Chains A and B, each alone.
Chain A
Amino acid sequence: MAAFILRRFLMLIATLFVASLIVFAVLEIVPGDPARLMLGLNASEDAIEALRNEMGLNQPIIPRYVSWVGGLLIGDFGTSYTYRVAVSELVTERIVVSLPLAILALALSTSIALPVALLAARHRGTSADTAIMTATQVGVAIPNFWFALLLVYLFAVTLQWVPAVGFPGWGDDPAGSLTALILPAIALALPQAAILSRVTRSALLEALSQDYIRTARAKGVAEGDVLWKHALRNALIPVLTILGLQFAFLLAGTIIIENVFTLPGLGRLIFQAITQRDLIVVQSVVMLLVVTVISINFLVDIAYAWADPRLRGQR
């Protein structure tokens, strides 16, 4: 097991290295000079050149890469070109929005998907199952930002139950902040719930077709208990895998939803940074997300191997 973990870990390091090269290289070729953008229309060439020097943009490419990666390793993400504050500070400010949103959305999608999947599996083949599966098909097909627009129009603008946009901040107004995350979380969670319930249902059905379930049934265990106690436990691994990946996606993929609701989260930070050519922010945040995804994959792999020793020999 230790050897397996070590091998996986080395792979993780290699993957991160390649990813960092890609991120750095792609952003090297972005057109647009951040120094010029910062100084505006009437800035003199001298002032722009001075600012370029100050920002380290005139250094050769390799030292710049090394100092960027070196900084990342010790938690120094550099200084934002536009805001002139530490990137780590910006990220901290934003992650307290994105992380709770992702957790809320994940909790919501799980608490919808699991009962729905159990219900469908329990009544498999009936019209209830068909209805649920049809609904999840539709759920998967709905673009989440379109759904978000409808939610805003209905609940914020027409009914005025929740604020339409913005985020008051946890320190000022914890309840208001939570309220502000409700609609975005729903918009994110429903399509995810549709996917998750489909996965869970088929995992349950697969588990139900195993021999030991037949044995349990033959012994007279009630159908509900069969589902809850036996099938669900065995279906957990694929479900957890999907959950892990969904979490990474929710953390990173909320970019459009955050724009719809004007939430000051990570996705919006990157979006703004891209349009403002604040490359250091883009590089660092994308890298941070990549690290998150790779780490989650790593943990999932370890968990798999722990659960099923046969996998340890595989690459």
Chain B
Amino acid sequence: MRGLTLGYGVSDRMVTVVSKTRSPKTAWSWFIHAMRNRSFAVGITVTALVVLMALVSIVWTPYDITKLTIPDRLQGPSLTHLFGTDHFGRDLFSMVMEGSRNSMSVALIAVGVGLFIGVPLGCLAAAKRGWLDDVLMRGADVIFAFPALLSAIMITAIFGPGAINAIIAIGIFNIPVFARVTRGAALAIWQREFILAARAAGKSASRITVEHILPNIANLLVVQATIQFSLGILAEAGLSYVGLGAQPPSTSWGRMLAEAQTMMGIAPQMALAPGIAIIATVLGLNLLGDGLRDITDPQTENLAAHG
């Protein structure tokens, strides 16, 4: 349950329980089963809608947000502009769509950075133990000791604002999260009997990791990735809010909020549209994560059922 997480400081969401291996089922029947879990059902639906919106925005938005039509500025919601327009006369609905793509891709790539660096490091630490484990985990401690959002602001202020640097700044703090989760879960698997058997059969540590450890901790990593994804969205919003994330003519939800804040009195729709988009997305992802955890981890399911 310990985990410093970007933007939100502390989360209850660092996964610590080791999941059980699932009996093989087809993906579809698993999905049908999963949809019985209310958190999962709501979470996956909201997330799918946001992802769909982001994908559609690549090829189509109702209006081109790189074109400014100043005379149409600050209109309230209407049939022509579903969410109204901003101070440059841009359609807010189109901007929320465009913003969803940027906010989500920053968060998603930052999760990818954490996964692709953190997971191998965690596996390595668990497989080798000893001084390497010590060094890696102490390294994680050092990163955790830095106030995350502050450090991200420092990084982007130094290397220049922009989506790429936002990804790096958020991604760095995902690495130790995944490294720790992976190590903890992998260590537990290493103690299991089937691993002992594999070792006795002469399999190398790397082969055991790939063939046995990773498949067994995959569920856990998916859950953690969902959580880091939602935290990444909040972190991106924070960075863009202070002007260090997405840059015009592109936009993101945080950037929209930054532009909206001086217009609260005259155009509240500018703050409400991206704000609600952020809340809905983060909520959706958190529910999805909770649902996945419930489904893949009988212990918590048990807790939830019996109290």
Residues in chain A within 8 A of chain B (CB atoms): 11, 14-15, 18-19, 22, 26-27, 29-31, 121, 124-125, 137-138, 140-143, 145-146, 149-150, 153, 157, 191-192, 195-196, 198-199, 202, 205-206, 208-209, 238, 241-242, 245-246, 248-250, 252-253, 255-256, 259-260, 267, 270-271, 274-275, 282, 286, 289-290, 293-294, 297, 315
Residues of chain A with a CB closer than 8 A to B157's CB: 274-275
A22 adjacent to B142 (CB under 8 Å): yes
Given contacts A19-B142, A141-B230, contact A253 B154 (CB under 8 A): no
Min distance, Cβ A4 to any Cβ of chain B, angstroms: 15
A296: nearest chain-B partner, CB-CB: B145
The main secondary structure of chain A at its interface with chain B is helix
B147 adjacent to A249 (CB under 8 Å): yes
A242 adjacent to B134 (CB under 8 Å): no
Q: How many residues of B contact A (CB 8 A)?
A: 55
Question: 1/0 contact trace for B114-144 toward A, CB 8 Å?
Answer: 0000000000000000000110011101101
Given contacts A15-B141, A250-B9, A286-B154, contact A141 B147 (CB under 8 A): no
A141 adjacent to B150 (CB under 8 Å): no
A295: nearest chain-B partner, CB-CB: B145
A297 adjacent to B145 (CB under 8 Å): yes
Q: Which of B52-60, B61-69, B237-245 lies at the binding interface?
A: B237-245
Q: Point out the residue from B158, B254, B264, B307 that lies within 8 Å of A29, measured CB to CB.
A: B158
Q: Is B292 an interface residue (CB 8 A)?
A: no
Provide 9 A-B residue pairs closer than 8 Å at the C-beta atoms, listed in order of the A residue: A124-B307, A125-B304, A143-B275, A245-B2, A249-B4, A253-B9, A289-B146, A290-B145, A297-B141
Give the distance in Å from the alpha carbon of A143 to the alpha carbon of B275 in the complex: 8
A125 adjacent to B283 (CB under 8 Å): no
Residues of chain A with a CB closer than 8 A to B142's CB: 15, 18-19, 22
Residues of chain A with a CB closer than 8 A to B257's CB: 143, 145-146, 149
Given contacts A15-B141, A290-B145, A293-B145, contact A30 B150 (CB under 8 A): no
Give the distance in Å from the alpha carbon of A142 to the alpha carbon of B280 in the complex: 9
Q: Is B193 an interface residue (CB 8 A)?
A: no
Within 8 A of A (CB), among B1-21: 1-2, 4, 7-12
Min distance, Cβ A31 to any Cβ of chain B, angstroms: 7
Min distance, Cβ A11 to any Cβ of chain B, angstroms: 7
Q: Point out the residue from A137, A208, A245, A259 that lies within 8 Å of B10, measured CB to CB.
A: A245
Q: Is B189 an interface residue (CB 8 A)?
A: no
Q: Is B286 an interface residue (CB 8 A)?
A: yes
A140: nearest chain-B partner, CB-CB: B286
Residues of chain B with a CB closer than 8 A to A315's CB: 133-134, 137
A274 adjacent to B154 (CB under 8 Å): yes
A286 adjacent to B271 (CB under 8 Å): no
Give the distance in Å from the alpha carbon of A56 to the alpha carbon of B146 in the complex: 27
Within 8 A of A (CB), among B144-194: 144-151, 153-155, 157-158
Q: Is B223 an interface residue (CB 8 A)?
A: no
Given contacts A149-B264, A192-B9, A249-B10, contact A141 B158 (CB under 8 A): no
A26 adjacent to B237 (CB under 8 Å): no
Residues of chain A with a CB closer than 8 A to B141's CB: 15, 294, 297
B303 adjacent to A205 (CB under 8 Å): yes
Min distance, Cβ B13 to any Cβ of chain A, angstroms: 8
Give the distance in Å from the alpha carbon of A140 to the alpha carbon of B158 in the complex: 30
Residues of chain A with a CB closer than 8 A to B4's CB: 245, 249, 293
Min distance, Cβ B144 to any Cβ of chain A, angstroms: 8
Q: Point out the residue from B134, B151, B287 that lies within 8 Å of A137, measured CB to CB.
A: B287
Q: Is B95 an interface residue (CB 8 A)?
A: no
Given contacts A29-B158, A142-B279, A195-B11, contact A202 B146 (CB under 8 A): no
Within 8 A of A (CB), among B227-281: 230, 234, 237-238, 241-242, 254, 257, 261, 264-265, 271, 275, 278-280
Residues of chain B with a CB closer than 8 A to A124's CB: 307
Min distance, Cβ B82 to any Cβ of chain A, angstroms: 21
B157: nearest chain-A partner, CB-CB: A274
Give the distance in Å from the alpha carbon of A26 to the alpha carbon of B271 in the complex: 35
Give the distance in Å from the alpha carbon of A275 to the alpha carbon of B153 in the complex: 11
Give the distance in Å from the alpha carbon of A202 to the alpha carbon of B242 in the complex: 35
Q: Is B113 an interface residue (CB 8 A)?
A: no
Give the distance in Å from the alpha carbon of A300 to the alpha carbon of B4 in the complex: 14
Q: Is B282 an interface residue (CB 8 A)?
A: yes
Residues of chain B with a CB closer than 8 A to A199's CB: 1, 12
A241 adjacent to B1 (CB under 8 Å): yes
B145 adjacent to A255 (CB under 8 Å): no
Give the distance in Å from the alpha carbon of A289 to the alpha carbon of B20 in the complex: 39
B154: nearest chain-A partner, CB-CB: A274
